[in-house]
Chain A
């Protein structure tokens, strides 16, 4: 080890603003983005759908699977605002109940997938060996298009909402894992991380105290995007008969039935489609506004 000759005494570098520095401008936060413009519009749309789903049993004039005698594929009327299906069930009621299935997928499966992905990404990307293994595993999962993965997993677990949830979790793990990995590789090169390591901080402490907080913004944006994609995945899987099992409704299965009867009952799919549009549009608006706020 080489001794360093100190020619001059060390002088502490001043920390923080010094007299004469311009006043720091604070960029708008993510919460601010949700209170204005597109963010607010998205929040209102998603909030409305969530409200409809939560209050569904109270608002629905009929049960989700209740078959009303004599009401076979009737059009919209005062008794059935969105009409009835070919099994005499009120479409409005089924739509309200169907929202709940999508909400479970959006607000349970996506966060679970995100949490697992973040955890895996954080832990594995710090060390090169685990990083390589995890990345190849993520590659494997990402190689499957969502529906192919859905069909594959349905073969193991059978069709149903649980399978839809598992598919979404499996799809979100590599997405969030990759995102966190990028953050880890960026943040760990930062001087303050090196400094914390110099004073003895361990990897887990660094990940928890430095890396994760600095990754939260992109993760929040991705969360909103993933939620909108999850609505599509549920819809597509139910459309293919891999999702929610009959007679229980989901937005995807209702759209499937509506498309099947499009020629005889064009009104059928209008309600479920409007809800899906509202939910996806709302989530996309939220993700856009968060993304813009982050870039600002």
Chain B
């Protein structure tokens, strides 16, 4: 018997969407129309990486221009209708039928159909786009698009994270994909239309008057690319920006104390900051050295001093509401320099040479620099010398995707707040097939595949325990903390939202200037 997860009428679906968006609001007041929201972002967009979920401006673009088939609310993994109004999953979990809205058009005016869903999934399955959920998209092998407003997807095997894919996958316009590649046009069905892009400087969006949920209140959004977080804060204080995405947590803390500003914290869209290790580096190929580093990470200090309390120290990536969360396993690596030193000494005694190791991190964001220096100081105490290697964010992401880090790196990852298999088979640092650590282990792969190839919502908890065991066993990625994303705006900005994907939502936003 087919298991219907959610089946709603179009009208009910529309109401549910509004409800879902309402839940994301952070403030409310009398809605006013007009005005252009001025946003500061740290990074520019890179068209070739537009689907990699790897920078604030990319997230903003995807969240503003595109819609997905379903939306997760911030606080749970319960799919809510978006471009898909209802869906039904087969009993064996290998077929999913979705009903699609029939009143949606792309910004070009072309109607949205089931063919666009097929095209979008196939685009994500194409390795050329280096999409993190590429494997999940590629596991969708059949597309029945005989009905323009319905599609049936067939899977190679049950996909426990298929709804994660449908939440993250933006519906792309096939006709303008070449222009998308060149950064000349981004055509979706979302609340704002792409207007212009001046590389390294500004991205502009205009209101989509024909948006299927109704016309947004804002006339448009101007995103200024400002790589210096301090400059973003200064411009917010000087009323040159309305909302900033890239300040340090200390700045957010400071702004939050002033009446003129509002700081949003997005629980449910967590990220994780971590130390990555290239396990093919001779010094790091010994798991004792990697574990020593894990013990030498002063997570509590990082949480208190760098994230100003807006983070949670962890050994495993999962937030406490995740089905894979295990409190005991999460406490595996407490800060213990003696234990770390003992492991290093043991490895050295067995002939493991530990030369000075480069520690790469993005230079634009001072958070990474601060963490890197704390890590460096603590590792020095246990006999591991580290040379800091700050690099541009774009270069760091390139090394992450290409698995090119020479030794250690500090970065953030996401996806642990989704279905656990999404992290294990998709995220660049974890992907059991090919990860940034170059960690290849049949048992880890088996554990990852085990939680992936099951029906959504029906994964055996024992399989999650096995995955956790493998993550700790390999210790190729050393978690520091779950971080709670923040942004800050002037009090003239109202009802900013955030998706679980980390995309700012401005559909409901308005200004009271």
A261 contacts across to B, CB distance below 8 A: 250
Taking a contact as CB atoms closer than 8 A, the residue among A65, A87, A245 that contacts B390 in the complex is: A245
Q: Are A263 and B254 in contact (CB under 8 A)?
A: yes
Given contacts A247-B373, A259-B230, 8 further A-B contacts (CB under 8 A): A65-B373, A65-B377, A67-B374, A246-B369, A246-B388, A246-B390, A260-B230, A260-B248
- Whole-angstrom distance between the Cβ of B277 and the nearest chain A Cβ: 21
Q: Give the CA-CA distance A118 to B196 in the complex, in Å.
A: 51
A291 contacts across to B, CB distance below 8 A: none
Supply 14 A–B pairs (Cβ within 8 Å), ascending by A: A65-B373, A65-B377, A72-B305, A86-B305, A86-B370, A87-B370, A88-B305, A246-B369, A246-B372, A247-B377, A260-B230, A263-B251, A264-B250, A264-B254
CB contact under 8 A between A86 and B230, given known A65-B377, A260-B366: no
The 7 closest A-B pairs by CB, nearest first: A260-B230, A247-B373, A72-B305, A67-B377, A246-B388, A87-B373, A241-B363
| In the complex, per-residue mask of B363-399: 1 if CB is within 8 Å of any chain A CB, else 0 | 1001001101110110000000000101000000000
Asked whether any CB of chain A lies closer than 8 Å to the CB of B296, the reply is no
B377 contacts across to A, CB distance below 8 A: 65, 67, 247
A246 contacts across to B, CB distance below 8 A: 369, 372-373, 388, 390
The total number of A-B Cβ pairs within 8 Å is 39
B251 contacts across to A, CB distance below 8 A: 263
Q: Give the CA-CA distance A260 to B250 in the complex, in Å.
A: 10
| In the complex, per-residue mask of B242-259: 1 if CB is within 8 Å of any chain A CB, else 0 | 000000101100100000
Asked whether any CB of chain A lies closer than 8 Å to the CB of B225, the reply is no
Asked whether any CB of chain A lies closer than 8 Å to the CB of B166, the reply is no
Q: Give the CA-CA distance A241 to B230 in the complex, in Å.
A: 14
B373 contacts across to A, CB distance below 8 A: 65, 87, 246-247
Interface residues of A in 188-215 (CB under 8 A from B): none
Q: Give the CA-CA distance A259 to B374 in the complex, in Å.
A: 21
Nearest A residue (CB) for B380? A65
A67 contacts across to B, CB distance below 8 A: 374, 377
Asked whether any CB of chain A lies closer than 8 Å to the CB of B484, the reply is no
CB contact under 8 A between A263 and B233, given known A246-B388, A246-B390: yes
A264 contacts across to B, CB distance below 8 A: 250, 254
A241 contacts across to B, CB distance below 8 A: 363, 390
- Whole-angstrom distance between the Cβ of A249 and the nearest chain B Cβ: 11
- Whole-angstrom distance between the Cβ of A161 and the nearest chain B Cβ: 14
Interface residues of B in 221-250 (CB under 8 A from A): 229-230, 233, 248, 250
B254 contacts across to A, CB distance below 8 A: 263-264
Q: Are B370 and A247 in contact (CB under 8 A)?
A: no
Q: Are B250 and A86 in contact (CB under 8 A)?
A: yes
Nearest A residue (CB) for B387? A245
B248 contacts across to A, CB distance below 8 A: 260
Q: Are B390 and A247 in contact (CB under 8 A)?
A: no
Q: Give the CA-CA distance A159 to B369 in the complex, in Å.
A: 15
Interface residues of A in 28-57 (CB under 8 A from B): none
Bin chain B's interface residue count.
20 to 34
Nearest A residue (CB) for B389? A245
- Whole-angstrom distance between the Cβ of B437 and the nearest chain A Cβ: 24
- Whole-angstrom distance between the Cβ of B255 and the nearest chain A Cβ: 9
Q: Are B250 and A247 in contact (CB under 8 A)?
A: no
Q: Give the CA-CA distance A67 to B363 in the complex, in Å.
A: 21
| In the complex, per-residue mask of A249-261: 1 if CB is within 8 Å of any chain B CB, else 0 | 0000000000111
B369 contacts across to A, CB distance below 8 A: 246
Q: Give the CA-CA distance A247 to B376 in the complex, in Å.
A: 9
Which of B250, B372, B388 has its CB near the most chain A CB atoms (within 10 A)?
Answer: B250
Interface residues of B in 448-468 (CB under 8 A from A): none
Interface residues of B in 408-431 (CB under 8 A from A): none
| In the complex, per-residue mask of A67-89: 1 if CB is within 8 Å of any chain B CB, else 0 | 10000100000000000001110
B233 contacts across to A, CB distance below 8 A: 263
- Whole-angstrom distance between the Cβ of A261 and the nearest chain B Cβ: 7
Q: Give the CA-CA distance A67 to B380 in the complex, in Å.
A: 12
Q: Give the CA-CA distance A27 to B376 in the complex, in Å.
A: 59
A263 contacts across to B, CB distance below 8 A: 233, 251, 254
A88 contacts across to B, CB distance below 8 A: 305
Interface residues of B in 242-281 (CB under 8 A from A): 248, 250-251, 254
A86 contacts across to B, CB distance below 8 A: 250, 305-306, 370
Nearest A residue (CB) for B372? A246
Q: Give the CA-CA distance A259 to B234 in the complex, in Å.
A: 11
B390 contacts across to A, CB distance below 8 A: 159, 241, 245-246
- Whole-angstrom distance between the Cβ of A94 and the nearest chain B Cβ: 12
- Whole-angstrom distance between the Cβ of A13 and the nearest chain B Cβ: 71
Nearest A residue (CB) for B371? A87
Q: Give the CA-CA distance A72 to B300 in the complex, in Å.
A: 14
A245 contacts across to B, CB distance below 8 A: 388, 390
Q: Give the CA-CA distance A245 to B373 in the complex, in Å.
A: 11
- Whole-angstrom distance between the Cβ of B125 and the nearest chain A Cβ: 36
A87 contacts across to B, CB distance below 8 A: 305, 370, 373-374
Nearest A residue (CB) for B255? A263
Nearest A residue (CB) for B228? A260
Nearest B residue (CB) for A66? B377
Nearest A residue (CB) for B373? A247
- Whole-angstrom distance between the Cβ of A239 and the nearest chain B Cβ: 10
B376 contacts across to A, CB distance below 8 A: 247
Q: Give the CA-CA distance A260 to B251 in the complex, in Å.
A: 9
B372 contacts across to A, CB distance below 8 A: 246
Which of B233, B251, B363, B373 has its CB near the most chain A CB atoms (within 10 A)?
Answer: B373
Q: Give the CA-CA distance A65 to B373 in the complex, in Å.
A: 9
Q: Give the CA-CA distance A178 to B449 in the complex, in Å.
A: 70
B374 contacts across to A, CB distance below 8 A: 67, 87
Q: Give the CA-CA distance A241 to B362 in the complex, in Å.
A: 12
Nearest B residue (CB) for A257? B366
Q: Give the CA-CA distance A88 to B390 in the complex, in Å.
A: 20
Q: Give the CA-CA distance A67 to B370 in the complex, in Å.
A: 12
Nearest B residue (CB) for A158? B389
Q: Give the CA-CA distance A86 to B253 in the complex, in Å.
A: 14
- Whole-angstrom distance between the Cβ of A263 and the nearest chain B Cβ: 6
Nearest B residue (CB) for A259? B230
Nearest B residue (CB) for A159? B390
Q: Give the CA-CA distance A65 to B248 in the complex, in Å.
A: 22
Q: Give the CA-CA distance A88 to B370 in the complex, in Å.
A: 11
Q: Give the CA-CA distance A65 to B377 in the complex, in Å.
A: 8
- Whole-angstrom distance between the Cβ of A75 and the nearest chain B Cβ: 15
| In the complex, per-residue mask of B204-230: 1 if CB is within 8 Å of any chain A CB, else 0 | 000000000000000000000000011
- Whole-angstrom distance between the Cβ of B377 and the nearest chain A Cβ: 5
